Amino acid sequence: MRGVRRVLAVLAALAVLAPGAWLAGGPAWATCPAQPVRSTASFVGKVDRVGPGGYEAFVTTADNREVVVDGQGGPAGDGPRTFLAGETYEFHPLNGASPYQDSACTATHPVGDSLWSAETILILAIIVGMVLSAPRIARWIRRRWGPPPHDVESDAGPTPPGEPTASS
């Protein structure tokens, strides 16, 4: 029973901490100037999908062009920038043509109410579902793998020596 409780505690901790760690993002790899780099080739667009790691964005711009933005970093060793599918960004790329180069040091930023994006709502729904179903799952686990039921006779404790037992 203790092992089951430990497993449940670890799973609960992971369920609570993992989405927070994912939402917080990775470490800041770049040393950027105080003012972000603004571009003369800036544009607004919605990220339709992202490449592996979220560093490459396939974007439909506000004027319906399809472009690619590579967030791997600039030539000066700027850190990478990741993108989220479904988000709308104001892009400030380092160059003037697709595939655009972007980094963590540019002024590229999400626009609109990014707090309630589709991914955020999905993650919150998963967390709420896990929290609400945890007691039911715990009961199911206890019933499934808990100790075997006790006999009524064995609950009275051991029979003292010389006393007749129920089976004799």
* High-pLDDT (> 90) share of the chain, %: 24
**Mean pLDDT, the chain, as a whole number?**
77
User: What is the per-residue pLDDT for 100?
Assistant: 92
User: What is the per-residue pLDDT for 112?
Assistant: 77
User: What is the per-residue pLDDT for 26?
Assistant: 43
Between 7 and 155, name the one with better pLDDT. Answer: 7
- Residue-wise pLDDT for 81-139, tens only, equals 889 898 899 999 988 888 999 988 888 988 876 566 677 788 889 999 999 999 988 88
In DSSP notation, 93-160 reads: -SSSSSSEE--TTB--EE-S-GGG-HHHHHHHHHHHHHHHHHHHHHHHHHHHHSPPPPPTGGGG-PPP
Is residue 27 over pLDDT 60?
no
Distance, CA of 26 to CA of 29 (rounded, Å) = 9
Written as six digits, the tokens of 160 are 């003292």
Mean pLDDT, residues 38-64 taken together: 91
User: What is the per-residue pLDDT for 25?
Assistant: 45
Contact 59, 66 (CB under 8 A): yes
